[in-house]
């Protein structure tokens, strides 16, 4: 048994002394580049930006609020003085690379066509947006507090100031739901997972 152990240890140490040769290193390196390519780091970074980072940036912003001051109106007894538009951002969506021609027709675009026509190889970018409209009407502070304070003269009531009472405006059914809006075009990296040639076999 001792002789067998000694023989095994000698064989093990012989293998250890041989180690990893330069030929082994080049075999591993060649295999890596055959699988991943020379620009795998850039492609992975681009894919991560499209699939995750863009949506995270949209969620950080969340929504946009715009206020519109309306001119005074003598025709209404209780006019709206301020209209507030609240736009809430939802899901970012990316379509396939395409090009819109002069006649308005949109067709799928291949990288070769983009090169020949000197166009940007890009995909339409869409964003889901939900809209809400709030309307503000002026109210006297004295009217709000009239239960706690004795009635005053009209001039005294106005002197105490005003505040805005907000009400949500009802929208048509087609405007109340989330709307998909075109917001621009995203250039696409060739051979990324969003490239139209990604899953196609290369022809020689």
Cβ 70 vs Cβ 114: under 8 Å: no
For 21-25, 34-38, 159-163, 171-175, which range has the lowest pLDDT when averaged over its residues? 34-38
**Are 5 and 79 found together in one domain?**
no
Instruction: State how far the Cα of 98 lies from the Cα of 195, in Å rounded to an integer.
Output: 11
Tens digits of residue pLDDT in 162-175? 778 888 888 888 77
Query: Does residue 199 sit within a domain?
Result: no
Provide the percentage of residues in the chain whose pLDDT is more than 70: 75
Find the distance separating the first CA and the last CA of the chain, reported in whole Å: 61
For 1-15, 19-33, 44-58, 137-151, which range has the lowest pLDDT when averaged over its residues? 1-15
Structural tokens at position 73: 């109106």
Cβ 134 vs Cβ 86: under 8 Å: yes
Q: Are strands 106-108 and 162-168 parallel, antiparallel or unpaired?
A: unpaired
Instruction: State how far the Cα of 170 lies from the Cα of 70, in Å rounded to an integer.
Output: 18
Mean pLDDT of the chain: 80
**Are 117 and 140 found together in one domain?**
yes
**Are 70 and 126 found together in one domain?**
yes
**Are 121 and 183 found together in one domain?**
yes
pLDDT band for 87, please (50, 70, 90 cuts): very high
How many CB atoms lie under 10 A from the CB of residue 111?
15
**Are 107 and 168 found together in one domain?**
yes
Instruction: State how far the Cα of 109 lies from the Cα of 122, in Å rounded to an integer.
Output: 8
Residue 36 has pLDDT above 70, yes or no: no
Instruction: State how far the Cα of 55 lies from the Cα of 62, in Å rounded to an integer.
Output: 10
Structural tokens at position 37: 């390519």
Query: Does residue 127 sit within a domain?
Result: yes
Residue tagged 């991560």 (tokens): 48
**Are 123 and 161 found together in one domain?**
yes
Residue tagged 């001119």 (tokens): 71
Query: Does residue 194 sit within a domain?
Result: no
Query: Does residue 80 sit within a domain?
Result: yes
pLDDT band for 145, please (50, 70, 90 cuts): low
**Are 16 and 81 found together in one domain?**
no
Q: State pTM to two decimals.
A: 0.66
Instruction: State how far the Cα of 183 lies from the Cα of 92, in Å rounded to an integer.
Output: 10
**Are 18 and 78 found together in one domain?**
no
Residue tagged 């964003």 (tokens): 127
**Are 3 and 54 found together in one domain?**
no
Provide the percentage of residues in the chain whose pLDDT is more than 90: 38
Our count of domains for the chain comes to: 2
Contacts of 133 (CB under 8 A, 6+ apart): 83, 84, 85, 86, 168, 169, 171
Q: What is the mean pLDDT of residues 83-101?
A: 93
Structural tokens at position 18: 């041989």
Query: Does residue 53 sit within a domain?
Result: yes
Q: What is the mean pLDDT of residues 99-114?
A: 91
Query: Does residue 57 sit within a domain?
Result: yes
**Are 46 and 32 found together in one domain?**
no
What residues make up the domain containing 15? 1-38
pLDDT score for 118: 95
For 41-45, 81-85, 141-145, which range has the lowest pLDDT when averaged over its residues? 141-145
**Are 74 and 47 found together in one domain?**
yes
**Are 53 and 145 found together in one domain?**
yes
């Amino acid at each position: 048994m001792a002789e067998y152990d000694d023989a095994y240890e000698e064989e093990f140490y012989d293998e250890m002394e041989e180690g990893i040769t330069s030929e082994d290193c080049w075999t591993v390196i060649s295999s890596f580049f055959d699988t991943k390519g020379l620009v795998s780091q850039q492609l992975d970074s681009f894919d991560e930006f499209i699939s995750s980072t863009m949506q995270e940036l949209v969620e950080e912003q969340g929504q946009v609020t715009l206020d519109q001051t309306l001119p005074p109106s003598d025709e209404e007894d209780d006019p709206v003085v301020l209209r507030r538009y609240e736009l809430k951002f939802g899901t970012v969506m990316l379509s396939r690379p395409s090009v819109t021609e002069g006649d308005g027709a949109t067709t799928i675009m291949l990288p070769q066509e983009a090169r020949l026509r000197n166009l940007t190889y890009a995909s339409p970018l869409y964003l889901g947006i939900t809209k809400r409209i709030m309307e503000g009407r002026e109210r006297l502070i004295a009217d709000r507090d009239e239960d706690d304070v004795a009635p005053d003269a009209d001039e005294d009531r106005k002197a105490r100031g005003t505040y805005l009472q907000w009400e949500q405006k009802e929208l048509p059914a087609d405007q109340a739901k989330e709307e998909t809006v075109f917001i621009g075009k995203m250039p696409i990296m060739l051979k990324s997972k969003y490239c139209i040639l990604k899953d196609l076999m290369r022809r020689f």
